[in-house]
Every structure is written in structure tokens, then in C-alpha cells.
């Protein structure tokens, strides 16, 4: 028994982040400004996105994405019960109806075959919201193909998926030029890149420009564009927007967290090896897989190395983790995986399913 309490995934904050925050405080500019501009630009380059918008949460990013696409009352959005509450909340907050379909038994990601069946059965579906659970990418080729054939938008919940990649493309980069695709990230305190609170939305430039208005009361100019020497006081309120902008204090942390991300990822994989040594071969554990062509972000949950297995197209089951992880999460996931497809969704409802969606009169559950 260790003598001190083991914190769950504490952020790795160094002197660089602290000094940058102090500089922001002393600059006199602490709301959205030059550090947000820098963070957005560097993040866009890191993931290979066309454009990026820094926000105060992944929830805000998903909410704005739905608003920008005009999804609202009368529309339906396919998503997964294997997610945090906010994925489903934002669908209902724009007045649309969530359609929840089951997950793949090995990755626990949304099942493209179930998406296809739901879309064929319901012409009111306007978008797909896949969740890259625990940083393992969904089968995006299949999902993008469904969206293309049925003229749907794809909004990726990538809260766990930085840095993750799918078939050589980082999550956050465009998944298909002929499909509307937006990607939402989280920088919450326990994420791989942490700014305390924060998020990012990536996507086509014209949609991100529109999202920028939605993020700040629908205004045509933010404070930095109005109240600096190069700016102009004039602005218009062009739509009924929200208040989701990221301030420079959070961006000051994010700039240096992003620079450290490759190093932190390497450290996570070192810790992975320790879990491998301790847990490989233990009876009663059904361990997760990584699909061929995918690279996981090893988000604070469960994951494993990608050593190929014979003839299956998946990797040998091995357990890995982020900086600090809860074994209870592992046990819960293993129990879910041992259950049948139908009972798995039912059992999820008591753990990570958005209860308001489960109990909501608007949510549908295809059989």
C-alpha cells in the first residue's frame, strides 16, 4: 500500500506555463487576445487542421458545431451511449433529438453498422457524432462513407483523442473533403493537454469563422479586434450567440502544454510498459485492442500497445494507462465487454451514459 494518496491524472504543469500566465497577467490583456491567437495557430498546425477556434470547453465546441450547421428542432443526431453527458446534452440544447446506437464490443466505439441501420431507418437524421472513447479513434472511413452517401455532417467528440491518429491522419485534420466535418477537443484538467478548462474546434475555415461569432454573443469582432491600436471599435451582433471564448490566461497554459505533448505521450508509453508487466496474464481480464492503422492518445483510462496479433487485424491485448489511472475504470469496462450487445447498453446507463438523455422523452434507442 502506497503511503500517499494517488491522484487521478494530475496535470503536468511546469515553470514555462507558470511564467507565461504571469506574463499574461502583467500584460494587462487577460481575455481573448494574442495568446489565444498563437495557441489556435500552433494547434492548427499540430493536428493538420484547416482552421481552429479556442473555446472554454469541448462542450462549448460541440454546441457551437451543431449551431453552425443549423441543426435544431425536428432534426436528429446519431451518437453513442458510451460517452460523457455533454455529448448528448448539446444535441438536446439545440432542440434536436439524440438517436443512440450501440458500440463495438472490442473498442467500445460507436458501431458503423448500427449507424448505417439507424440512418436508413430515419430520414430526419442530419448528423453523426462519433466519440473517440479513451483516445482510440473510431472507424472514421466507414463513418465518413455513411455521411457521404446520406449527405450528413460529422461532428467528432475528440475530448480524449489528442494526440491520436487514424490511418496516418491526426484526429482534428479533415476526414474528407466532400463531407462536412468538425472536431471538438477538451483541455479539461485531467486531459492529455490541460488548461484547467478549455477546448478547441477544428474544421473548414468558413465554418470556423462562423463558429467564432457563435462563441462570443454573435459579435463580428472580439475585444482584441476592437480595443487594440490596430483594431476598430465598430462591431455588429449578427446572430444570437453564446459566451464560449477562451481567455488568454488559459491559452498561456495551452501554448506550453502543446509543446510538451509529444514528450508527455512518450512518458505515458513508458508507464504503459509498467502496467503491461503487472497485468499481462492475470486471469479474469478481457483486455482492449487497438485496430490496425490507429494510434491511440492513451487518454486517462485504458489502452494497450499495438503489437500485431496473428490473422485478426487487431493487436495483441495489452493493458496500458496514462500518468495515473483508476483500475476501477478497467474493471467496469471489462464487465461491460463481457455482457451481450443489448445488455451492454443497459449497463452503460448506470456509469457513463447521459442519464438525462436516457430518461428523456426525446431520445430514441433503435432496436
pLDDT band at 328 (very low <50, low <70, confident <90, very high): very low
Query: What mean pLDDT is predicted for residues 191-210?
Result: 97
What span, in angstroms and rounded, lies between the C-alpha atoms of 207 and 304? 36
Pair 62, 92: CB distance under 8 Å: no
pLDDT at 367: 52
Identify which has the larger pLDDT, 273 or 162: 162
SS (H, E, C) 240-309: CCCECECCHHHHHHHHHHHHHHHHHHHHHHHHHHHHHHHHCCCCCCCCCCCECCEECCCCCCCECCCCEC
Cα 187 from chain centroid (whole Å):
9
State what percent of residues in the chain have pLDDT above 70: 78
Identify which has the larger pLDDT, 335 or 290: 290
Identify which has the larger pLDDT, 353 or 154: 154
Identify which has the larger pLDDT, 308 or 9: 9
Is the pLDDT at 324 greater than 60, yes or no?
A: no
**The whole model's pTM is what?**
0.81
What span, in angstroms and rounded, lies between the C-alpha atoms of 52 and 212? 10
Query: What mean pLDDT is predicted for residues 216-239?
Result: 79
Residues 96-134: pLDDT tens digits? 999 999 999 999 999 999 999 999 999 999 999 999 999
Report whether the peptide linkage leading into residue 322 is cis, meaning its omega lies within 30 degrees of zero.
Answer: no
pLDDT band at 331 (very low <50, low <70, confident <90, very high): very low
Contacts of 117 (CB under 8 A, 6+ apart): 101, 366
| Start-end of CATH 3.40.640.10 domains in the chain | 15-259
Query: What mean pLDDT is predicted for residues 20-46?
Result: 96
Closest CA to 253 of 26, 34, 39, 17: 17
Pair 166, 293: CB distance under 8 Å: yes
Neighbours of 300 (CB within 10 A): 22
Q: Minimum mean pLDDT among 165-179, 181-195, 294-308: which range?
A: 294-308
pLDDT band at 315 (very low <50, low <70, confident <90, very high): very low
Active-site residue set: 191
Pair 286, 337: CB distance under 8 Å: yes
Query: What mean pLDDT is predicted for residues 325-349?
Result: 35
Identify which has the larger pLDDT, 220 or 119: 119
pLDDT at 284: 84
Residues 74-85: pLDDT tens digits? 999 999 999 999
pLDDT at 363: 61
pLDDT at 301: 46
Is the pLDDT at 94 greater than 80, yes or no?
A: yes
What CATH class has 15-259?
A: alpha beta
SS (H, E, C) the chain: CCCCCCCCCCCCCCHHHHHHHHHHHHHCCCCCCHHHHHHHHHHHHHHCCCEEEEECCHHHHHHHHHHHCCCCCCCEEEECCCCCHHHHHHHHHCCCEEEECCECCCCCCECHHHHHHHHHHCCCEEEECCECHHHCCCCHHHHHHHHHHHCCEEEEECCCCCCCEECCEEECECCCCCCCEEEEEECECCCCCCCECCEEEEECHHHHHHHHHHCECCECCCHHHHCCCCCCCCCCECCCCCECECCHHHHHHHHHHHHHHHHHHHHHHHHHHHHHHHHCCCCCCCCCCCECCEECCCCCCCECCCCECCCCCEECCCCECCCCCCHHHHHHHHHHHHCCHHHHHHHHCCCCCCHHHHHCCCCECCC
What span, in angstroms and rounded, lies between the C-alpha atoms of 43 and 37? 10
Q: How high does pLDDT run on average in the chain?
A: 82
pLDDT band at 333 (very low <50, low <70, confident <90, very high): very low
Is the pLDDT at 354 greater than 90, yes or no?
A: no
Strand partners, 78: 99, 128
The residue assigned the cell 482552421 is: 51
Q: Is the dihedral of CA 246, 250, 255, 259 positive or negative?
A: negative
pLDDT at 307: 31
Say if residue 170 is exposed, middle or buried (CB neighbours under 10 Å; 0-12, 13-18, 19+): buried
pLDDT at 323: 25
Residues 232-289: pLDDT tens digits? 778 888 999 999 999 999 999 999 999 999 999 888 878 877 877 788 888 888 666 7
Query: What mean pLDDT is predicted for residues 81-92?
Result: 97
pLDDT at 190: 92
pLDDT band at 332 (very low <50, low <70, confident <90, very high): very low
Say if residue 350 is exposed, middle or buried (CB neighbours under 10 Å; 0-12, 13-18, 19+): exposed
Amino acid at each position: 500500500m502506497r503511503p500517499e494518496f494517488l491522484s487521478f491524472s494530475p496535470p503536468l504543469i511546469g515553470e514555462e506555463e507558470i511564467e507565461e500566465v504571469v506574463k499574461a497577467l502583467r500584460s494587462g490583456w487577460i481575455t481573448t487576445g494574442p495568446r489565444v491567437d498563437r495557441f489556435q495557430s500552433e494547434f492548427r498546425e499540430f493536428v493538420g487542421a484547416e482552421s481552429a477556434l479556442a473555446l472554454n470547453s469541448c462542450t462549448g465546441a460541440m454546441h457551437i458545431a451543431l449551431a453552425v450547421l443549423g441543426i435544431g428542432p425536428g432534426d436528429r443526431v446519431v451518437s453513442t451511449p458510451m460517452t460523457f453527458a455533454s455529448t448528448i446534452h448539446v444535441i438536446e440544447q439545440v432542440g434536436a433529438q439524440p438517436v443512440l446506437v450501440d458500440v463495438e464490443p472490442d473498442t467500445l466505439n460507436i458501431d458503423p453498422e448500427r449507424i448505417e441501420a439507424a440512418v436508413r431507418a430515419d430520414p430526419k437524421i442530419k448528423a453523426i457524432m462519433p466519440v473517440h472513447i479513451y483516445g482510440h479513434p473510431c472507424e472514421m472511413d466507414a463513418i465518413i462513407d455513411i455521411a457521404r452517401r446520406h449527405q450528413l455532417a460529422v461532428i467528432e467528440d475528440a475530448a480524449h483523442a489528442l494526440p491520436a491518429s487514424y490511418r496516418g491522419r491526426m484526429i482534428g485534420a479533415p476526414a474528407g473533403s466532400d463531407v462536412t466535418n468538425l472536431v471538438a477537443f477538451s483541455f479539461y484538467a485531467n486531459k492529455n493537454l490541460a488548461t484547467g478548462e478549455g477546448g478547441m474546434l477544428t474544421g473548414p475555415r468558413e465554418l470556423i469563422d462562423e463558429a467564432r461569432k457563435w462563441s462570443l454573443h454573435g459579435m463580428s469582432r472580439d475585444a482584441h479586434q476592437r480595443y487594440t491600436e490596430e483594431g476598430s471599435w465598430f462591431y455588429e451582433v449578427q446572430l444570437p450567440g453564446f459566451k464560449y471564448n477562451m481567455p488568454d490566461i488559459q491559452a498561456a497554459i495551452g501554448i506550453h502544454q502543446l509543446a510538451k505533448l509529444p514528450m508527455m505521450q512518450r512518458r505515458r508509453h513508458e508507464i504503459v510498459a509498467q502496467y503491461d508487466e503487472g497485468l499481462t496474464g492475470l486471469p479474469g481480464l478481457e483486455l482492449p485492442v487497438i485496430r490496425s492503422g490507429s494510434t491511440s492518445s492513451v487518454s486517462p483510462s485504458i489502452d494497450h500497445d499495438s503489437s500485431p496479433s496473428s490473422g485478426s487485424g487487431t493487436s495483441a491485448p495489452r493493458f496500458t494507462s496514462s500518468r495515473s489511472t483508476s483500475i476501477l475504470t478497467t474493471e467496469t469496462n471489462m464487465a461491460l465487454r463481457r455482457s451481450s450487445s443489448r445488455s451492454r447498453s443497459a449497463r452503460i446507463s448506470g456509469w457513463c451514459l447521459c442519464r438525462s438523455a436516457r430518461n428523456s422523452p426525446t431520445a430514441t434507442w433503435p432496436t
